[in-house]
């Protein structure tokens, strides 16, 4: 190639870079592993992720890895401040199995489930058919709530905070588990009800507290909403990897739904207006 042609090609590439017109693959380095499905996870986030592999997010990771024909490899880090910075963003792993849609720290895949906060009460008690926090039967009762979580706002609006029992929001789950403590307190009669994130409460109730009942809170119309779409989180800018996960989720949604339902996760419709019947 003549020197003038090489110079012209170099100039054209420089212009394309300046205008952002080069293909996406040329703009970002490919950090995603091709030899393993690398997952960032909390080692003690029962019932979601556990270092012994017993969490339902562990099983979801195994399902996706099998479709990719890759082994699962974990980077363990407590789900607290610095989690994304020290795992996904640092290039130590390629995906977080459960991340709320729209979070600015990650690039979200399409959602693979929608779930909601739940009210947990004794299945044979006087609150068994309560479906919303405005129900008069909750007045004057001690209700467990994770401090700072969205349903705390609804409890305040309905006059339920005065006698509420708060549990800490940010903890190291290797040493403390607010959800487990709250359900134990409920079963012991120390509180009358518990309000918890459904994907945590549902599996714990199914596994450890068969005498309790978890009801999704789908009738709380005011802000903040109590249902959320859950995605897989990847590094920002990794659109090719995002699209690959989107395709896997779409093609294997029935298996994903069955896995989550078996674990006890309360699945609801995308608009948060009803419970989803899996396998019906």
Q: What is the mean pLDDT of residues 183-188?
A: 97
* Dist CA 109 CA 88 (whole Å): 14
Helices (H), 170-267: 178-187, 198-208, 239-251, 253-263
Q: Check whether 25 has a pLDDT greater than 90.
A: no
Distance from C-alpha of 130 to C-alpha of 223, rounded to nearest angstrom? 20
Q: Output the pLDDT for position 30.
A: 67
pLDDT of res. 224 = 93
Q: Per DSSP, what are the bridge partners of residue 102?
A: none
pTM: 0.87
Q: If you average pLDDT over every residue of the chain, what do you get?
A: 89
Among 119, 139, 279, CA closest to 197: 119
């Amino acid at each position: 190639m003549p020197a003038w042609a090489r110079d012209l090609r170099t100039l054209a590439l420089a212009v394309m870079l300046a205008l952002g017109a080069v293909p996406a693959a040329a703009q970002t380095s490919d950090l995603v592993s091709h030899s393993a499905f690398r997952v960032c996870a909390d080692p003690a986030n029962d019932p979601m992720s556990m270092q012994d592999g017993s969490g339902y997010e562990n099983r979801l990771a195994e399902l996706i890895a099998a479709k990719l024909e890759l082994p699962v490899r974990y980077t363990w880090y407590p789900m607290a401040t610095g989690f994304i910075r020290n795992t996904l963003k640092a290039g130590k792993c390629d995906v977080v199995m459960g991340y709320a849609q729209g979070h600015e720290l990650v690039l979200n895949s399409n959602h693979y489930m929608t779930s909601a906060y739940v009210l947990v009460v004794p299945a044979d008690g006087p609150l068994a058919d309560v479906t919303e926090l405005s129900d008069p039967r909750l007045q004057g009762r001690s209700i467990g709530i994770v401090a700072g979580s969205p349903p705390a706002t609804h409890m305040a609006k309905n006059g339920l905070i005065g006698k509420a029992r708060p549990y800490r929001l940010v903890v190291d789950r290797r040493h403390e588990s607010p959800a487990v403590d709250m359900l134990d307190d409920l079963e012991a009669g120390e509180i009358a009800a518990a309000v918890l994130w459904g994907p945590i409460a549902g599996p714990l109730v199914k596994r450890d507290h068969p005498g309790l009942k978890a009801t999704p809170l789908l009738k709380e119309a005011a802000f903040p909403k109590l249902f959320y779409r859950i995605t897989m989180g990847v590094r920002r800018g990794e659109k090719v990897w995002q699209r690959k996960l989107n395709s896997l989720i779409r093609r294997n949604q029935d298996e994903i739904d069955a896995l989550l339902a078996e674990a006890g996760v309360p699945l609801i419709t995308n608009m948060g207006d009803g419970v989803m019947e899996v396998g019906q």
